[in-house]
């Protein structure tokens, strides 16, 4: 009952009150939240107790930046629920292996976090935090003209109590396990006939294929892309197949609910939930450093993600002052590294690599993997040599433009691996 009350409270606040007409009002709200939140952490976490109080938003930069390795190193001292790291890891691994994600530790949800970086960790979320998360998600994504009676279909690698929180008598929720056969999932999806479909782009692609072939007939009101980078090519295709003007995105990771697509189609940072510092890589691309005002069981304070976001100069017509970003581009460790004739490194962002295939016709599925400074493997669903020549031409033009030595290209058949997150652009070597 308490959890449902928190969900309703979070829903009302997010839906009708946490809309900021000006950046000044937004920053004042964030400062108030941060001061209160950090005071709680200092009194409940031995790790944060050693830092002085915070009395203004600007003081957040006095705190150290953390990442997954730091969080795991100080897990026992950081968390405020007395959970031991080894115990948490055992619960998380057991759930992954059994595919039963209902086990909790004294009401605390425990999950395994690997992300696309491959570094293993655990995340913990309290019952109250689950309720607040569910309320925020529903507030941002349920259609304005109808709150109840929705059937939400969720395709993810792992289910969790965090996601099950969304379900209620007024809103149906069904988790589809991508480790099960897609034929079974498609059959069950047809019978369920969702009004809202939530899935990674790789799964949306499979579902789109079934719709085009006539093997599946569903007509969701909303399509929400999660967990993987949504490329411009995929977005265009999904809009056509699902007959919708907007493919919504939920930028959700174990570190928090970080961004959402509003009804006008803009991707906003959830600055009513998190404070985001921008670590710029150039004048457009930045890596977010996140502080979550709601996460107390496992504090997220100045957590540096490995994602690359792209700024936008757009002011959204929805009227909310929360920051608009142009896109989520990929991981920082997937920036491709080439060399020029003098042997100097040239960095190329994932979007620029993706565009070398975006401009080529007759490609639906692809992956580009860099195995060395001058070696790329391109996985394609089309083996036509004219397609390969067109791709080679695009890479030659890019190398000339950016003055790096053009890489050698090797082509392989594309195969979808549902056991891991799809990374269209991936670098597999270190500097």
Residue pLDDT, tens place only, 267-286? 999 999 999 999 999 999 99
pLDDT for the residue numbered 2: 56
State the residue for tokens 């976090």: 113
Q: Could you write out the DSSP letters of every residue in 352-371?
A: HHHHHHHTSSS--SEEEEEE
The pTM for the full model equals 0.88
Kindly state whether residues 314 and 355 are assigned to the same domain.
no
pLDDT at 358: 86
Same domain, yes or no, for 322 and 341? no
Q: Same domain for 355 and 218?
A: no
Q: What is the CATH number of the domain that holds 139?
A: 3.40.50.12780
pLDDT at 117: 47
Please give the pLDDT value at position 303. Answer: 96
Of 285, 310, 330, which one is at a domain's C-terminal end? 330
Question: Number of folded domains in the chain?
Answer: 2
Q: Which of 273, 303, 330 is the last residue of a domain?
A: 330
CA 343 to chain centre: 35
Q: Are 316 and 187 part of one and the same domain?
A: yes
Residues 147 and 168 in one domain: yes
Q: What are phi and psi of 285, to 5 degrees?
A: -85, 135
Could you list the residue range(s) of the whole structural domain that residue 419 is in? 335-427
Cα–Cα dist 278/179, whole Å: 36
For residues 223 and 291, state if they share a domain: yes
Residues 324 and 339 in one domain: no
Q: Please indicate, yes or no, whether residues 157 and 186 belong to a single structural domain of this protein.
A: yes
Same domain, 314 and 169: yes
Closest CA to 388 of 417, 368, 418: 368
Say yes or no: 269 and 369 in one domain: no
The CATH number of residue 401's host domain is 3.30.300
Residues 407 and 324 in one domain: no
pLDDT in the model for residue 3? 64
Determine the pLDDT at residue 11: 84
Residue 298 and residue 350 share a domain: no
Domain C-terminal end among 330, 364, 396: 330
Please list the ranges in the chain whose pLDDT falls under 50.
Answer: 1, 116-118
For the chain, first and last CA: distance in Å? 52
pLDDT digits (tens, 9 = 90+) for 338-360: 999 999 999 999 999 999 998 89
């Amino acid at each position: 009952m308490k959890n449902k009350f928190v969900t309703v409270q979070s829903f009302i606040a997010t839906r009708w009150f946490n809309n900021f007409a000006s950046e000044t009002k937004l920053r004042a709200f964030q400062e108030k939240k941060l001061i209160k939140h950090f005071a709680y952490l200092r009194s409940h976490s031995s790790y944060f107790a050693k830092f002085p109080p915070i009395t203004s938003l600007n003081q957040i930069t006095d705190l150290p930046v953390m990442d997954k390795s730091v969080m795991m190193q100080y897990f026992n001292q950081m968390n405020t629920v007395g959970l031991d790291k080894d115990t948490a890891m055992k619960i998380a691994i057991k759930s992954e292996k059994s595919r039963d994600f209902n086990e909790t530790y004294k009401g605390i949800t425990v999950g395994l976090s690997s992300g696309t970086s491959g570094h293993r960790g655990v995340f913990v979320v309290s019952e109250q935090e689950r309720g607040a998360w569910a309320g925020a998600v529903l507030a941002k994504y349920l259609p304005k003209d109808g709150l109840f009676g929705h059937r939400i279909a969720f395709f993810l690698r792992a289910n969790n109590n965090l996601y099950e929180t969304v379900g209620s008598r007024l809103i149906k929720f069904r988790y589809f396990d991508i480790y099960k056969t897609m034929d079974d999932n498609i059959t069950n999806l047809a019978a369920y006939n969702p009004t809202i479909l939530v899935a990674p782009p790789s799964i949306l692609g499979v579902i789109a294929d079934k719709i085009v072939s006539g093997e599946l007939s569903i007509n969701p009101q909303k399509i929400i892309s999660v967990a993987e980078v949504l490329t411009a090519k995929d977005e265009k295709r999904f809009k056509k197949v699902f007959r919708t003007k907007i493919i919504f995105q939920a930028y959700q990771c174990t570190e928090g609910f970080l961004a959402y697509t509003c009804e006008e189609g803009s991707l906003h940072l959830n600055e009513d939930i998190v404070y985001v510092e921008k670590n710029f890589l150039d004048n457009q691309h930045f890596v977010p450093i996140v502080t979550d005002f709601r996460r107390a069981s496992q504090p997220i304070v100045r957590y540096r993600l490995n994602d690359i976001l792209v700024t936008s100069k757009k002011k959204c017509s929805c009227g909310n002052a929360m920051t608009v970003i142009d896109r989520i581009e990929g991981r920082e460790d997937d920036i491709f590294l080439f060399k020029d004739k003098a042997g100097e490194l040239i960095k190329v962002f994932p979007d620029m690599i993706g565009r070398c295939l975006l401009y080529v016709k007759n490609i639906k599925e692809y992956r580009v993997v860099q195995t060395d400074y001058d070696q790329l493997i391109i996985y394609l669903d089309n083996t036509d040599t004219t397609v390969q020549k067109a791709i080679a031409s695009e890479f030659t033009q890019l190398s000339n433009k950016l003055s790096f030595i053009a890489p050698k290209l090797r082509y392989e058949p594309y195969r979808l691996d549902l056991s891991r997150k799809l990374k269209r652009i991936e670098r597999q070597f270190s500097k």
